[in-house]
Amino acid sequence: MSNQDNLSSRREFLQSTVALGLASTLPSHTTEAQTSASPTADRTYWIEIVRRVSHPVLSAVSKAQLRAIMPVEAKPGLEEERRKSTHLEAFGRLLSGIAPWLETTVISPEEAALQTQYREWARAGIHHGTDPSSPDYMNFGMTSQSVVDTAFLVLGILRAPKQLWEPLDRTTRANLVKALQATRQVLPGQSNWLLFSAMVEAGLCFMGEEWDSLRVDYAIQMHKEWFLGDGTYGDGAHFHWDYYNSFVIQPMLLQVLDTLPARSAMWRDLKPVALERARRYAAIQERLISPEATFPVIGRSITYRFGAFHLLADIALRRQLPELVSPEQVRCALTAVMRRMIERPGTFDAKGWLTIGFAGHQPGLGEPYISTGSLYLCAVAWLPLGLPANDSFWSGPAKPWTEAKIWNGQDAPADHASSA
């Protein structure tokens, strides 16, 4: 085949896949018939991913059987240590991602039925997980890791207060408050961990309890100082090539600033600036998705899979996407990424639990702190399910994302750094 033939074939291939709004290179077992150019089909596909990932966790925790049923995969020799915290990881991280969907009103009868069941199971999980007499009590304050995932649990509650707080009975509310307070004994490091403590205090404030403004002020002040430019914060005093600006830093900083009353001019003034920085980082994230629906495997915690796009999903949910990034192209990009990853053989074990890996089962990619429960941070990519089905994110026609357009030869405005 000549070079010209090669170029022609490549051009035709890219054009066909961009028209679909999906990845040009998908797992070998994904046929063209399984890809979708329909907005309705995209949302249906997302809900199926939610069901496939969430069902084992929520079903077990609703019956106080999560500890008994969930496997604990970790680095050899660390299984028992991770068993102390992995169940809270799975539950808190999962809720932080599905919460906006639990909170919204859906029209589809099938989707509504699943949503109703998961709402009930999530509330049952909060009841069992915070009850010290329950076999599923989640060891709040027992390990340093517990402050991390208590923060994710709080993030979920703040994203769905009508479903995950208001219906709770008095005893469960009291147990939940005590669980949050128990994590105060954990001293966070000089890193994104400061935001975990701040998020716990934001939760206590929301619940009408006394909260420690000093913990919050210190976290906000340090992240103000750690801003490096062009939408990016350091994880502590130094920059790390990883996805922690998305996994933790920017979504939690925005939520803390949204939830708490401003105790100083610095808090108040930082709020719009933090949002503008987040919008720039969301633009960068969207550009990280290649025409083939891949993204760089770089930095720690890469086994959170498409949870790397937490911030992009959050900005889409807030309807604050940058001017040149349409909701439709974000939907298509995230659909393609999730399809490529979730359908990879080895992603789930024989009983439907996530395994350690990025593209399938790759236990070598897991750091010592990674275990089965950690992996459910992938759920935070689903935040746009909190948008109604008639929102343009879901109802608009498929559009190619930035890298797909540019690599297909389409013209586009030049990218520029942000001054915020």
Global pTM reads: 0.91
Decide if pLDDT at 95 tops 50: yes
Which range, of 30-34, 198-202, 313-317, averages the lowest pLDDT? 30-34
* The predicted structure's pLDDT at residue 19: 40
The arithmetic mean of pLDDT across residues 1-6, rounded, is 44
Structural domain boundaries in the chain = 21-407
Residues of the chain with pLDDT > 90, as a percent, come to 89
Decide if pLDDT at 60 tops 90: yes
* The predicted structure's pLDDT at residue 37: 55
What confidence tier does 44 reach under pLDDT thresholds 50, 70, 90?
A: very high
303-329: b (≥16 Cβ within 10 Å) or e: bbbbbbbbbbbbbbbbeebbeebbbbb
What confidence tier does 154 reach under pLDDT thresholds 50, 70, 90?
A: very high
Assess contact for 309 and 334: CB atoms under 8 A.
Answer: yes
CB within 8 Å of 33: residues ≥ 6 apart: none
Decide if pLDDT at 419 tops 90: no
* The predicted structure's pLDDT at residue 375: 98
* The predicted structure's pLDDT at residue 13: 34
Assess contact for 164 and 156: CB atoms under 8 A.
Answer: yes
* The predicted structure's pLDDT at residue 175: 98
What confidence tier does 325 reach under pLDDT thresholds 50, 70, 90?
A: very high
Decide if pLDDT at 20 tops 80: no
* The predicted structure's pLDDT at residue 38: 75
Question: So what's the architecture of 21-407 in CATH?
Answer: Alpha/alpha barrel (1.50)
Residue found by looking up tokens 């998908």 in the block: 26
> For the chain, what is the mean pLDDT?
92
The arithmetic mean of pLDDT across residues 154-175, rounded, is 98
Q: Pick the residue with more confidence: 96 or 6?
A: 96
Decide if pLDDT at 8 tops 90: no
Q: For residues 359 and 113, give the distance between their C-alpha atoms in angstroms, rounded to a whole number.
A: 31
The arithmetic mean of pLDDT across residues 72-87, rounded, is 97
Residues of the chain with pLDDT > 70, as a percent, come to 91
